[in-house]
């Protein structure tokens, strides 16, 4: 919906207050992914990197998190890490258009 500024305070409370985020489950990691993307779209790239990385620690084969990490590294100016993240996303899901677009951005 694009209402990131409105969602961010609510999502930020989840890790602080617990709410089960210490136990990696699919639902927990989905919330963490939304939190990471909200941070990304709000311009908080360093914090987004941390949340994407935490998500990948729990679910290392989640191609969407690798993709998010790639876009985040690109915004942080780390093209080598961005490329590695996008490549991993494409390895996991060869038809992942967004990750392929990220690779094209890195190679410009």
Delineate the domains of the chain, giving CATH numbers in brackets.
4-106 (1.25.40.10)
Check residue 55 and give its pLDDT. 87
Overall residue count recorded for the chain in this entry: 108
pLDDT digits (tens, 9 = 90+) for 85-99: 999 999 999 999 999
For the question of whether the overall pTM of this predicted structure is more than 0.85, the answer is: no
26-44 mean pLDDT? 82
Q: Are 98 and 74 in contact (CB under 8 A)?
A: no
30-52 mean pLDDT? 90
R_g over Cα of the chain: 14
Q: Are 81 and 62 in contact (CB under 8 A)?
A: no
Q: Are 52 and 69 in contact (CB under 8 A)?
A: yes
End-to-end CA distance of the chain: 30
58-83 mean pLDDT? 96
């Amino acid at each position: 919906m694009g209402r990131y500024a409105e969602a961010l305070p609510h999502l930020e409370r989840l890790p602080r207050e617990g709410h089960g985020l210490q136990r990696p489950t699919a639902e927990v990691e989905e919330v963490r992914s939304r939190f990471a993307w909200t941070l990304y779209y709000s311009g908080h790239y360093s914090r987004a990197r941390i949340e994407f990385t935490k998500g990948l620690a729990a679910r290392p084969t989640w191609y969407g998190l690798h993709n998010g990490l790639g876009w985040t590294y690109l915004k942080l100016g780390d093209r080598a890490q961005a490329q590695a993240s996008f490549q991993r996303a494409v390895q996991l899901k060869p038809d992942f258009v967004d990750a392929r677009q990220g690779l094209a951005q890195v190679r410009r």
